[in-house]
Amino acid sequence: MNEHNSIKQVFDFNRENSKGCLIGYITAGDPTLDVTQKAADALIYGGIDILELGLPFSDPIADGPTIQAASLRALNAGTTPMRVLETAKEIKRKHCNIPIVIMTYYNPIFRKGLNSFLASAKEWGVNGFIVPDLPVEEAYDYKKTAVKYVLDTIFLAAPSTSNERLPEIVSASSGFLYLISRLGVTGANSTIEESTLQLIRRFKPFTAEKIPLAVGFGISQIDHVKKVIDAGADAAIIGSAFINIIQKNIDTPNVMLKELEQTAKELKKATHFER
């Protein structure tokens, strides 16, 4: 993997240009892997900086109704972990400068074999993993293998994460730290709570000069992106808003792709900041 498409360099480039990063999440295989590739194209043309591909799983613990429904559609279409990696490979072949992060629960990795799965991921262009059900305290073997294959390990922190535990999570993370903006599950919100902005301001001293801080869960609109970036976040993660566009336009793919690209373009504009 060339250094020019590393997660770190994407964050560095955006920071130098007074922008936050826009991370776009879609569930791989929803409604088909062919559509996933086209949706990824649309989001990248629209300006997302990092693509996050969700590996569909039958028993998600962090996903709200939107992503659960997307996972079900993907599983029903025959999506498997290895086919997700193959899809990542095809996307990376076309968009070599866009980092790809896989979000998956640990079970699919364990079943495929830790070394084998991460080796394939690296070979096929994946840059890092988010594993929501893998706490730092239980991640030694995973981290060791990820380091071996130069894959970023992106841990999550939440409103319930204490200031005492946060440094351990920060030091174990690479790529970026994923800040869950609220307790509960994923899903688009109509407003950004003041508590989310306060949370960013609480976490920022722990991540500054160490690792980028990316904020997800409930961020879906232009003003949401602007507010979290202005509060000090280095990236906004958008998922359910994009998946809603896919779900709404399953029978009209051309409309879907146009709306995905336009929405990404508008959200990316909101990442400009003055600090």
Active site residues: 52, 63
Element holding 43 (H helix, E strand): helix 33-46
Beta strand pairing call for 235-238 and 21-27:
parallel
The backbone torsions φ and ψ at residue 118, rounded to the nearest 5 degrees and listed phi first, read -70, -35
Q: Which two tokens stand for residue 143?
A: 């981290």
Q: Could you report how far apart the first and last alpha carbons of the chain are, in Å? A: 32
Q: Across-strand partners of 53?
A: 26, 102
Q: Which two tokens stand for residue 81?
A: 């972990």
Amino acid in the structure at residue 254: N
Q: Which two tokens stand for residue 88?
A: 């990542």
CA–CA distance, 186 with 25 (Å, rounded to integer): 11
Amino acid in the structure at residue 7: I
Cis previous bond, 31, omega within 30 = yes
Q: Do 192 and 228 contact (CB within 8 A), yes or no?
A: yes
Q: What is the DSSP string of 148-185?
A: HTT-EEE-EE-TT--TTTHHHHHHH--S-EEEE-SSS-
CA–CA distance, 20 with 189 (Å, rounded to integer): 20
Q: Do 27 and 75 contact (CB within 8 A), yes or no?
A: no
CA–CA distance, 232 with 205 (Å, rounded to integer): 10
| Rg of the chain in Å (alpha carbons) | 17
